[in-house]
């Protein structure tokens, strides 16, 4: 089972998958959705990588821990043309996609994959990493502090660990969409927060932890912690691929979280994802994508 996180939802990603029975989540089945979302979010990731690149200069080895289908791995290959990239994930089908993407980008010769569960699989890396990136993969691990410590152990002295966690829930629609009770997305967020907490509690070796990521990075032995939030702002009218992502995301929300919503909200969501309804997100002109993701980073002392 992959510990990768790019299912649409909560921090635009942790939304839907958390409602699932976590152990039975089929990450390979999610692959097209994970990939389309990551591609849509490319401008946000590019800004985050440019921010990292100001302090991480000329890395020899970059590890993408919980890489999924490898969209961000590919961006690392483009941002750091001298670096070797290793994509790590629990799902071999997702890593096959990552390898194919690296080949298409002309980076196949400096791209490798490692299959296995985080964080133990990191022990199989041949070399310490100059940059270890974990995008929404740490929160799938029961003991997040221990996971960060394991990541730090795989860093070269002076190496950087960067985790993308937190941020803000995504918004796709105005507060009042003209039917149903206004504020639907905020109520979906509340359900998702509860489901996310349940997911975390059910993880093996789950440790309750305040999600102060800079403090967790410091506790794991890193210095120079810093955080920065990056915005994805795709205003209406959105391109077709953004609309398709909203449709997929809300459809998944309806399928996974519908039972936890009030009946009137469930009815509103049903209309919103019905392709035959002119007021659905398939057709309405006011659909947008607004999301914010936060990156926290720190440096292993030399």
pLDDT digits (tens, 9 = 90+) for 82-118: 999 999 999 999 999 999 999 999 999 999 999 999 9
Mean pLDDT within 121-150 = 93
pTM reported for the whole predicted model: 0.89
6 occurs within a structural domain: no
DSSP class of residue 177 equals -
Residue that has been written with the tokens 């410590």 in this structure = 149
Range with the poorest average pLDDT among 25-34, 84-93, 117-126: 25-34
Quote the pLDDT of residue 31: 81
CATH at 183: 3.40.50.150
Torsion of CA 66, 72, 78, 79, to 10 degrees: -90
Residue 237 preceded by cis peptide, ω within 30: yes
Total number of domains in the chain: 1
What's the CA gap between 50 and 293, in Å, rounded?
Answer: 15
Domain hosting 144: range is 14-299
Contact between 203 and 283 (Cβ < 8 Å): no
Q: Which residue has the tokens 């102060």?
A: 212
Predicted confidence at residue 156, as pLDDT, reads 97
Task: Report yes or no on 232 lying in a domain.
Answer: yes
The verdict on residue 198 lying in a domain is yes
By DSSP bridging, strand 155-164 and strand 129-135 are parallel
What is the four-CA torsion angle of 41, 42, 43, 48, rounded to 10 degrees? 100
CB-CB contact of 139 with 110 (8 Å): no
**The predicted structure's pLDDT at residue 30:** 80
Tell me the pLDDT band of 28, cut-offs 50, 70 and 90.
confident
Q: How far apart are CA 159 and CA 148, in angstroms?
A: 14
**Residue 143 resides in a domain:** yes
Nearest to 51 by CA among 126, 107, 169, 133: 133
**Degrees (nearest 5) of the Cα angle 87, 92, 95?**
35
CA distance 216 to 194: 22
pLDDT, averaged across the chain: 90
Q: Is the pLDDT of residue 56 over 60?
A: yes
226 part of a folded domain = yes
């Amino acid at each position: 089972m992959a510990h990768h996180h790019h299912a649409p939802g909560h921090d635009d990603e942790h939304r839907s998958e958390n409602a699932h029975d976590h152990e039975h989540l089929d990450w390979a089945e999610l692959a097209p959705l994970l990939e389309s979302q990551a591609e849509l979010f490319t401008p946000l990731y590019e800004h985050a990588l440019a921010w990292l690149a100001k302090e991480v200069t000329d890395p020899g080895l970059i590890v993408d821990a919980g890489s999924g289908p490898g969209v961000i791995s590919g961006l690392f290959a483009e941002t750091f043309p001298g670096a070797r990239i290793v994509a790590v994930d629990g799902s071999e089908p997702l890593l096959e996609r990552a390898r194919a993407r690296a080949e298409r980008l002309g980076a196949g010769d400096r791209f490798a994959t490692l299959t296995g569960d985080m964080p133990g699989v990191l022990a199989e890396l041949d070399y310490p990493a100059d940059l270890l990136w974990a995008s929404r993969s740490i929160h799938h691990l029961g003991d997040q502090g221990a996971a960060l410590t394991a990541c730090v152990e795989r860093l070269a002295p002076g190496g950087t660990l960067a985790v993308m966690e937190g941020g803000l829930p995504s918004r796709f629609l105005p507060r009042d969409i003209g039917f149903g009770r206004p504020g639907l997305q905020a109520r979906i967020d509340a359900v998702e927060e509860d489901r996310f907490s349940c997911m975390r509690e059910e993880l093996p070796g789950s440790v309750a932890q305040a999600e102060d990521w800079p403090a967790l990075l410091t506790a794991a032995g890193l210095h120079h912690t810093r955080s920065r939030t990056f915005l994805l702002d795709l205003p209406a009218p959105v391109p077709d691929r953004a609309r398709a992502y909203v449709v997929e995301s809300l459809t998944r929300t309806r399928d996974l979280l519908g039972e936890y919503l009030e009946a009137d909200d469930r009815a509103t969501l049903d209309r919103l994802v019905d392709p035959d309804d002119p007021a659905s997100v398939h057709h309405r002109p006011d659909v947008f994508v607004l999301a914010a993701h936060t990156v926290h980073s720190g440096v292993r002392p030399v």
